[in-house]
Amino acid sequence: MRTIKEINEKIKKGKVVVVTAEEIIDLVDKKGLKKAAQEVDVVTTGTFGPMCSSGAYFNIGHSKPRIKLGGGICRLNDVPAYCGFAAVDIFLGATSLPESDPQNKVYPGEFRYGGGHVIQDLVFGKDIRLEAETYGTDCYPQKKLQTYINIKDLNEAVLFNIRNCYQNYNVAVNLSDRILYTYMGVLKPRLGNANYCSAGQLSPLLKDPYYKTIGIGTRIFLGGGIGYVVWHGTQHNPLARRKENGIPCVPAGTLAVIGDLKQMSGSWLVGTSMLGYGVSLTVGIGVPIPILDEEICRYTAAKDIEIYAPIVDYSQDYPQMTDKTLGEVNYAQLRSGKIIIEGKEVPTGALSSYSKAREIAEILKSWIKKGEFLLTEPVAPLPGVESGYTFKPLKERPI
Amino acid sequence: MISKRIVLHFPQRLVDQPIVYKLVKDYDLQFNILKAYVTPQEEGLMVLELTGEDEQFKKGIDYLESCGVRIQPLSQDIIRNEAKCTDCGVCVPICPVGALVVDPLTSKVHFYDNKCIACELCVKVCPTKAMEIHF
């Protein structure tokens, strides 16, 4: 029907037709699949939720005299960062916590500040306190460093998230008699609430369920700036159970993404504290899907009511890895505010912001329309269902 | 009849005085204590839902003020920091009185501060610390 090259020509000429993943649903309903696929060049998706396997790396520049952080230790605003690289390269993970944080010793811990918050503060342009201790060498004699750093002075500041954008996720509930504090939020006892975390019909990988357009090299909206898909994310699981419409009904594919932190925004990278669990980074991602043929158009038009998620008990089944579920619900039910589980009406709560996901899809649409964002041809595909690639549990062997 | 949620600030000298019981005894007011504690600065703080006849309600409030109790409407105390809120909605099922609601059209979270009882559950669960206490 059309190629990415042809779409880019239309973008340059200002003639491209772009709609969001919500708008394509109405368009297909109104005009039919064939006509909609002929008219629309690009569908934009969006998601905005806590994504723990996020992080950033920095090159801070060399001090006088030189210091070799590699092999030593390093903290940013008291939050430990990894520096087992060359002299002044460091990596900060979103869930890293200061040693002074009481964690869950006073239960439930508040986890007010950690790696995700440092990343947001950096993006806001705030000065960050760097403290490092290491050993001296002939070429790197300095052993201690205490200085403020600012994102504008760093050589590189790169967001590098090794797992983002989960294609579908669990609906978390609590069958026990006590409150649970989880990464899925506070779960009230005896099915007191059900928390979910996906943008459903707006979510990137749910709109390209077989990764026909999203691959390595895909240019995306990342944290308010431009980023790229660099690999499949960790725990990528294309063989996860799917419905007849091809959409996974359990957590499945994931993305690893990268982008220049210096052009991102603190509105789309938000330090996050989960009571009794830890810290994280809430990340905004938007992926454009080129409508190359009718089949791809049909996938992008999937509705909340056609996308199902498993209900999982976080008191027993999740921590003990039993693989048991309490049934499934669709995203239209979840977004209605209540679902029925075992005959009981249960109020729902979301960790992923649907309104922000919608905003991201709109921003990406406007970038493409204005000619500021061109689509990319994937350099290589993500492992798909035919790859045999799976997500395995740990093979534990006694030492 | 009038019914309001109010915050009473008791100065240190009043903390050990029986005051609230007079609202029942002398002014025939009903109250529901939503929260009460003494701060480290030894100021007393009480959140009340107070109900009674208009005239008596006014007299009761006058009485509290004459004792030196500072009165604040409850809706000023729990505030949503709009800049921090991401409209995720994880607070919605946690709120016991339905003061936090997802708008079905915009998918944004509304905070109805007139319904809020200042239990502070949302303050603790909010992942971005957007719900703030201003007692």
Q: Which pLDDT value is given to residue B75?
A: 67
DSSP letter (8 states) at residue B90: T
Domain boundary among B30, B59, B76: B76
Mean pLDDT of A157-185: 98
Q: How far apart are CA A24 and CA A36, in angstroms?
A: 8
Which ipTM value was assigned to this complex? 0.94
Nearest to B92 by CA among B73, B77, B107: B107
Same domain, B72 and B87: no
Chain B neighbors of A48, CB-CB under 8 A:
86, 88
Mean pLDDT of A346-370: 98
Same domain, B86 and B99: yes
Same domain, B53 and B88: no
Q: List beta partners, residue A328.
A: A310
| Chain B stretch 95-114, residues whose beta carbon is closer than 8 A to a beta carbon of chain A | 102, 106-108
Overall domain count for chain B = 2
Domain boundary among B56, B76, B96: B76
Chain A neighbors of B120, CB-CB under 8 A:
none
Same domain, B61 and B114: no
Maximum average pLDDT range among A347-356, B9-18, B54-63: A347-356
Q: Which pLDDT value is given to residue A101?
A: 98
pLDDT at residue B42 above 80?
Answer: no
With a CB cutoff of 8 Å and minimum separation 6, the contacts of A121 are A77, A128, A266, A271
* Residue B94 to residue A349, Cβ atoms within 8 A: yes
Mean pLDDT of B77-104: 95
The per-residue pLDDT of chain A, averaged, comes to: 98
pLDDT at residue A331 above 90?
Answer: yes
Q: Report CA-CA distances (Å) from B121 to A54, A167, A226, A271.
A: 28, 31, 37, 20
Same domain, B13 and B69: yes
**CA–centroid distance for A210 within its chain:** 18
Same domain, B72 and B83: no
DSSP strand pairing (A344-350 vs A194-196): parallel
pLDDT at residue B15 above 90?
Answer: no
Chain A residues near any Cβ of chain B (below 8 Å): 48-50, 110, 112, 185-186, 188, 192-195, 270-275, 280, 282, 335, 337, 347-356, 358
Q: Provide the sign of the torsion angle of the four alpha carbons A74, A80, A84, A89, taken in this order.
A: negative
Mean pLDDT of A25-41: 98
Q: How far apart are CA B74 and CA B87, in angstroms?
A: 23
Is A139 tagged catalytic? yes
Q: How far apart are CA B90 and CA B100, in angstroms?
A: 10
* Residue B89 to residue A48, Cβ atoms within 8 A: no
CATH at B6: 3.30.70.260
Mean pLDDT of A260-268: 98
B123 close to A275: Cβ distance less than 8 angstroms:
no
Exposure string over A285-303, b if 16+ CB within 10 A, otherwise e = bbbbbbbbeeebbbbbbbb
Same domain, B60 and B117: no
What residue numbers bound the domain in which B47 lies?
A: 2-76
B92 close to B99: Cβ distance less than 8 angstroms:
no
Mean pLDDT of A227-254: 98
Q: Lowest-confidence range among A337-341, B33-37, B81-85?
A: B33-37
Same domain, B31 and B55: yes
Chain A neighbors of B102, CB-CB under 8 A:
335, 337, 350
DSSP letter (8 states) at residue A337: T
Same domain, B70 and B83: no
All structural domains of chain A with their residue ranges: 4-51+160-385, 55-159
A348 close to B84: Cβ distance less than 8 angstroms:
no
Record the tokens describing residue A372, joined without a space: 């500021």
* Residue A195 to residue B90, Cβ atoms within 8 A: yes
A204 close to A285: Cβ distance less than 8 angstroms:
yes
Q: Which pLDDT value is given to residue B76?
A: 67
CATH at B90: 3.30.70.20
